[in-house]
Structure 1
């Protein structure tokens, strides 16, 4: 934009000023095998008093396991086990917020999310909606959140989503699948303990890891690319290659994939994702396909947009002996296709990053239907 400034000269000068986004970053992060056991001392200074609990939202795969005994509960802290079988929903967020407000007389000291992307996104959304009125679906979009969230901590138990570092919490709402994209979304503290990813199934390890890989491909090939996002994206891509094409020990693989996830999330924080993510939102909204596998299913059909990335993806699938489902769109109606296409095309920043300002002339409804029909 153009701004006229009086700089003390005889005539005022017209100065062109370029505006840059001032994105937030996670202010505190701890990394290392076994660092989860320092959580109690990390949370203690953030406890306001004994009647202001910490609420732990934990993946229900840990219910009844010894891991629960390691959660540093004191006073009236509450553990809520949540299933990650489905994508996080706005109704889920609203229900959790309602429960917390009903059971406690004041705001909690904080929210701690322990799990994969679903639990981390739920934790971020609940933290926001405890201080902002209305339903979580009111905040799906970009920079709609008004008040800062309560203190919130992210502890990933699977690597790849980048949810631990992003300013987005992706939710399935009544009308759309869309993130709460806000400066208030980012975690205040992240705990990166690679040991917590032990026991993840090979399929899930691949799907979420490929979410990170696809982040990198879409960021590095996008029109929003800049030196900041490029440096993170290139490092994440290098780490993904080591993990999925190399010969690492299990502990090395866990360490490197956790770092790949962090770097991949940072890359898209300062740029954006692209075609695979935009189209996977349509699959998720209509068919309930989970995010990681949805990205994989779409990405292998995107040679037109990411030829080198798709070739590398196929190489990783062969190396890891992973097979993806096919024909999931074969029985859809024209109305179903229109729904998926509308949801996908609603992700305008993703399409602009992928294809530029003229993206609407490339990503036509006919083009998207031809891709979906092959899935």
Structure 2
């Protein structure tokens, strides 16, 4: 679990006070990995507390994070600084937060990031790392994984060393998120809840968090009675609770299949989950019905025809990636999931997208 959390509107201004006691020495910088959408945005960047050799690395979040990108950032930091950084601070959405977690891990572990895609492969604790989400829904701020696309698969670095040491939750930072992105990342949280609460891995701990996140999502996306500020606050907490729920259980069919879309087509995680979930009535009938109501309430049209012109080889690549997510399928279907989740079944589902 995350050991330290700050929550509150305007709390981003406390970042200096949070970081100051963690500085190792004047030659050990804090490296800020920041979504490049904030480049030139003084309201955000002027409050990043730079001292000594601290540095901001602006990173585009237009594409899903890659293992090669992590390796390049780690090499850049190692070559530039003689001492290990005092900390890595991620400021952005799920892509940026996952990059920050992965970079923090790879600064203390040998090899390439692709070597650690899987469960509990990390041997050495990461450097101190802090997460500051600027969009709500992915749960990346609380999860024990980093979703990375590697040369062979799309799979996270899942370990006890992955979670942030400190998270700063300031709902004000989400005020300028475009509506479609707000919806897609919010639905990532909603889908976390559905997959956790209906899965075979469900337990009392994950259920308590999942149920709270589910109720918040219904309030935010269906009731339409909240002010903008209330919606921002509640969605940030829904994201946190949804992430906690899957940290103690697992996700399911939508995530397993969206990894295939993301690996082959580069489809962003949130919209990929939505595209897949829209066709999963067989697995989550009530959840999909409510999802369609949420789409209608917010006038969201999902992208169509992503798989229309794919070759057999490309379909097989997506299917291979999806079938590689065994814990997700076991949570969704049970230990004998391979008897019902066939290549033909996945091909038929992908063809609908």
**Counterpart in 1 of 2:25?**
49
**Counterpart in 1 of 2:210?**
233
The 5 A counterparts of 1:322-341 are: 322-341=300-319
Write the deviation string for residues 292-311 of structure 1: whole angstroms up to 9, x where unpaired: 00000000000000000000
- Helix, strand or coil: the match of 2:146? strand
Confirm whether residue 222 of structure 1 aligns to residue 199 of structure 2. Answer: yes
- Helix, strand or coil: the match of 1:137? helix
Write the deviation string for residues 10-45 of structure 1: whole angstroms up to 9, x where unpaired: xxxxxxxxxxxxxxx000000000000000010000
Question: Which of 13, 32, 41 does residue 8 from structure 2 map onto?
Answer: 32
The 5 A counterparts of 1:26-175 are: 26-66=2-42, 67-175=44-152
Unaligned 5+ runs, structure 1: 1-24
Write the deviation string for residues 102-152 of structure 1: whole angstroms up to 9, x where unpaired: 000010000000000000000000000000000000000000000000000
Across the aligned residues of Structure 1 and Structure 2, the Cα RMSD in angstroms comes to 0.4
Q: CA deviation at 1:364?
A: 0.5
Larger Rg: 1
Confirm whether residue 315 of structure 1 aligns to residue 293 of structure 2. Answer: yes
Separation in 1 of the partners of 2:147 and 2:308?
27
Confirm whether residue 286 of structure 1 aligns to residue 264 of structure 2. Answer: yes
Question: Which of 159, 166, 169 does residue 189 from structure 1 map onto?
Answer: 166
Q: CA deviation at 1:65?
A: 1.2
Write the deviation string for residues 348-368 of structure 1: whole angstroms up to 9, x where unpaired: 000000000110011100000
After the TM superposition, which parts of structure 1 deviate over 3 Å for at least 4 consecutive aligned residues? none
Q: CA deviation at 1:208?
A: 0.1
Q: How many residues align?
A: 351
Separation in 2 of the partners of 1:28 and 1:362?
42
After TM superposition, the score normalised by the length of structure 1 is 0.93
Write the deviation string for residues 269-304 of structure 1: whole angstroms up to 9, x where unpaired: 000000000000000000000000000000000000
Write the deviation string for residues 180-215 of structure 1: whole angstroms up to 9, x where unpaired: 000000100000000000110000000000000000
**Counterpart in 2 of 1:4?**
none
Separation in 2 of the partners of 1:92 and 1:328?
25
After TM superposition, the score normalised by the length of structure 2 is 0.99
**Counterpart in 2 of 1:343?**
321
